[in-house]
Structure 1
Amino acid sequence: MSTVSNAVAQQENGPGALVTRYADDFAQVLPSHVKPDTFVRLAQGILRRDQQLARTAANNPGSFMAALLECARLGHEPGTSQYALVAFGNEVTGIEQYTGKVERMYRAGAVASVKAEVVRTRDHFSYDPATMDRPDHRVDWFGGDRGDLIGVYAYAEMKDGSTSRVVVMNRTQVMEHKAMARGASSANSPWNKWEESMWLKTAAHELEKWVPTSSEYLRDQARALGETIRTANRPTSAPPATEPAPAEPIRAEVIDGEAA
Structure 2
Amino acid sequence: MSELKDRVKLATGQAPADDEQSPVTDLALTDQSMAWLQSRATYFTDALPRHVDRAHFMSVARAIMPSLSRCTDYSITSALLACARFGLEPDGRQAAIIPYGDTATFQPMYEGYIELMYRHPRVDTVHFNWIRKKDQWDYTPTDPSPRDFFHKPRVDLTEEERGKVVLAYAFAWIDGRRSQVILLNHSQALAIRNKYSKAYAKAEKNNKRDSAWHTDFDAMWAKSAVRRLVKVVPTSTELAELIQSDDDADEATSVPSVIRGTVISHDDAEAQAPGQQQAPTSWPEAAQPGSNEAGDES
Task: Give the number of the structure with larger relative contact order, counting CA–CA contacts within 8 Å between residues 6 or more apart.
Answer: 2
| TM-aligned CA distance change 1:146 to 1:87, over 3 Å | same
1:154 is matched with 170
Indicate whether 1:42 and 2:60 are aligned.
Answer: yes
Separation in 2, partners of 1:216, 1:197: 21
SS at 1:200 equivalent: helix
Q: For residues 86 and 49 of structure 2, what CA distance do their matches in structure 1 show?
A: 8
* Structure 1 residue 40 displacement after superposition: 3.0
Taking structure 1 as the reference length, what is the TM-score of the superposition?
Answer: 0.62
Alpha-carbon distance change, 139 to 43 in structure 1, aligned in 2, over 3 angstroms: closer
Instruction: Tell me if the contact between 1:115 and 1:155 (Cα under 8 Å) persists in the aligned partners.
Output: yes
Residue in structure 2 matching 1:23, options 33, 41, 60: 41
In structure 1, C-alpha distance between the alignment counterparts of 2:178 and 2:65, rounded to whole Å:
42
Deviation at 1:216, TM superposition (A): 6.4
1:233 is matched with none
Residue 116 of structure 2, aligned match among 104, 115, 122:
104
1:141 corresponds to which residue?
Answer: 155
1:208 maps onto 2:230 in alignment = yes
Look at both structures and tell me which one has the larger radius of gyration over its CA atoms. 1
Aligned pairs, number: 200
Mapping of 1:3-22 within 5 angstroms? 15-22=33-40
* Contact 1:19–1:65 (8 Å) recurs in 2: no
Deviation at 1:106, TM superposition (A): 2.1
Q: CA deviation at 1:71?
A: 0.5
Deviation (angstroms), 1:97: 2.2
In the aligned structure 2, how far is the partner of 1:141 from the partner of 1:93? 37
> Structure 1: 5+ residue runs without aligned partners?
1-6, 218-260
Contact map agreement 2:86 2:238 (CA 8 A) in 1? no
On the 8 A contact 2:30/2:69 being kept in 1, the answer is: no
Structure-1 separation of matches of 2:125 and 2:98: 29
The Cα RMSD (Å) is 3.6
Secondary structure of 1:157's counterpart equals strand
Percent identical = 31
> C-alpha separation between the residues in 2 aligned to 1:163 and 1:172?
26
Distance change >3 Å, CA 34–CA 125, structure 1 → 2:
same
Please tell me whether residue 170 in structure 1 is matched to residue 185 in structure 2. Answer: yes
Partners of 1:132 and 1:185 in 2: CA distance: 43
Equivalents in 2 of 1:92, 1:190: separation in Å? 19
Instruction: Kindly state the Cα deviation for residue 86 of structure 1 after the two structures are TM-superposed.
Output: 0.9
Q: CA deviation at 1:191?
A: 7.7
Q: Runs ≥4 in structure 1, deviation > 6 angstroms?
A: 181-184
Unaligned runs of 5+ in 2: 1-26, 240-298
Letter in 1 for 2:176: G
Aligned partners of 2:193 and 2:213 also within 8 Å: no
Structure 1 position 156, deviation (Å)? 0.3
1:43 offset after TM fit, Å? 1.5
Opposite residue 124 of structure 2, the aligned amino acid is: A
Give the Cα separation in 2 of the matches to 1:93 and 1:177.
23
Measured at CA, do residues 74 and 191 of structure 1 come closer, stay the same or move farther in structure 2, by a change above 3 Å?
A: farther
Q: Normalising to structure 2: TM-score of the pair?
A: 0.55
CA distance in 1, matches of 2:144, 2:135: 18
Amino acid of the structure 2 residue aligned with 1:154: A
